């Protein structure tokens, strides 16, 4: 009887140890999975990223949600004004910027870009029915609105303000405020990317496109310089995957006019961007 009791005792100990080991491994796996990253978003930049009834929406937001499922991480959004996004990334207050961020050599000095996922141009918007020509909207004495800290601001300043007479350039926290001032007559024109312009028009803003600027560029997301969280590989691989499996096309079709040509991912990558040099993180 003593031997039998002793055997049962050892069996219980073995079972207890096996149960404890399983709990330990399960706990370890839980700690490795489901990491949450903070993302800066300007929730007033349709169709790339915006807020509607308290929910974040947009092309890039939906793309990131699809990538989250593929890569097993999650994102906690922080709504920030556009001029604050890149400084917040540089100061490591956020881990990524979720929007359609223009790819420039200058910005690449202080942040790292994901692969570019779209190519676009900027257009000039005027009040609907105003009859203002492209020359009048961007010529001598024109009153033009742009978003503060945007690539549109830099381009208009260098190519219009510095080369024309008495051009008044006004900066805004977001493009929607500038569009409203075009409608009210406080501005002659606003310069914005073509996709956003189409979105404003589709949603009923009383504006129309009068011309297109010669400043084609690519857009991407961004992470901190040096990719401190190792996000580029996950994001790049995710963008290519959702392009190849058709998710990207479905996202674009839900926001953009029909018949719009869909660029492959990655789009053209500038030589001056260090994260676009071989090997590109996340690309085979």
Of 161, 192, 212, the one marking the end of a domain is 212
Give me the domain span that covers residue 203: 122-212
3-state DSSP call for residue 172?
A: strand
Task: Name the nearest CA neighbour of 218 among 91, 108, 138.
Answer: 108
**Do 115 and 222 belong together in one domain?**
yes
**Do 108 and 137 belong together in one domain?**
no
Q: Does residue 175 lie within any of the structural domains?
A: yes
Q: Does residue 204 lie within any of the structural domains?
A: yes
**Do 86 and 106 belong together in one domain?**
yes
Distance between CA atoms of residues 194 and 200, nearest Å = 10
Q: How many domains does the chain have?
A: 2
Contact assessment for residue 212 and residue 98, using Cβ atoms and an 8 Å cutoff: no
Spans of the chain below 50 pLDDT? 1-6, 10-32
Q: Does residue 19 lie within any of the structural domains?
A: no
**Do 267 and 135 belong together in one domain?**
no
CATH code of residue 43:
3.40.190.10
Q: Does residue 3 lie within any of the structural domains?
A: no
Q: Does residue 282 lie within any of the structural domains?
A: no
Count of H helices and E strands in the chain?
9, 14
Q: Is the peptide bond before 279 cis (omega within 30 degrees of 0)?
A: yes
Distance between CA atoms of residues 148 and 171, nearest Å = 5
To the question of pTM greater than 0.85 for the whole model, the response is: no
Structure tokens, 170: 């006004």
pLDDT score recorded for residue 14: 40
Q: Does residue 251 lie within any of the structural domains?
A: yes
Distance between CA atoms of residues 103 and 139, nearest Å = 27
**Do 155 and 265 belong together in one domain?**
no
**Do 130 and 108 belong together in one domain?**
no
**Do 106 and 222 belong together in one domain?**
yes
**Do 52 and 188 belong together in one domain?**
no
Q: Does residue 11 lie within any of the structural domains?
A: no
**Do 109 and 239 belong together in one domain?**
yes
**Do 82 and 128 belong together in one domain?**
no
pLDDT score recorded for residue 149: 86
In which region does residue 40 sit, left (phi positive, over 0), alpha (psi from -120 to 50) or beta (all else)? beta
């Amino acid at each position: 009887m003593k031997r039998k009791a002793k055997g049962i005792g050892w069996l219980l100990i073995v079972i207890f140890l096996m149960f404890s080991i399983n709990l330990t491994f399960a706990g370890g796996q839980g700690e490795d999975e489901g990491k949450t990253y903070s993302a800066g978003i300007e929730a007033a930049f349709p169709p790339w990223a915006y807020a509607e009834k308290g929910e974040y929406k947009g092309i890039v937001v939906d793309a990131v949600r699809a990538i989250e499922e593929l890569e097993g991480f999650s994102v906690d959004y922080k709504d920030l004004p556009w001029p604050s996004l890149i400084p917040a990334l540089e100061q490591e207050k956020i881990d990524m910027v979720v929007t359609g961020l223009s790819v420039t050599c200058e910005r690449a000095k202080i942040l790292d870009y994901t692969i570019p996922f779209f190519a676009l141009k900027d257009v000039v918007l005027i009040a609907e029915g105003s009859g203002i020509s492209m020359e009048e909207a961007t010529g001598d004495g024109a009153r033009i609105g742009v978003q503060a800290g945007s690539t549109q601001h830099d381009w208009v300043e260098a190519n219009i303000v510095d080369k024309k007479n008495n051009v008044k350039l006004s900066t805004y926290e977001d493009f929607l405020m500038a569009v409203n001032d075009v409608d009210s007559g406080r501005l002659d024109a606003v310069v914005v990317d073509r996709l956003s312009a189409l979105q404003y028009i589709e949603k009923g803003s009383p504006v129309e496109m009068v011309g297109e600027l010669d400043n084609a560029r690519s857009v991407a997301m961004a992470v901190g310089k040096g990719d401190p969280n190792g996000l580029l590989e996950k994001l790049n691989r995710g963008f290519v995957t959702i392009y190849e499996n058709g998710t990207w096309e479905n996202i674009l079709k839900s926001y953009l006019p029909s018949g719009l040509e869909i660029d492959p991912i990655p789009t053209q990558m500038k030589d001056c961007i260090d994260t676009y040099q071989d090997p590109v993180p996340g690309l085979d």
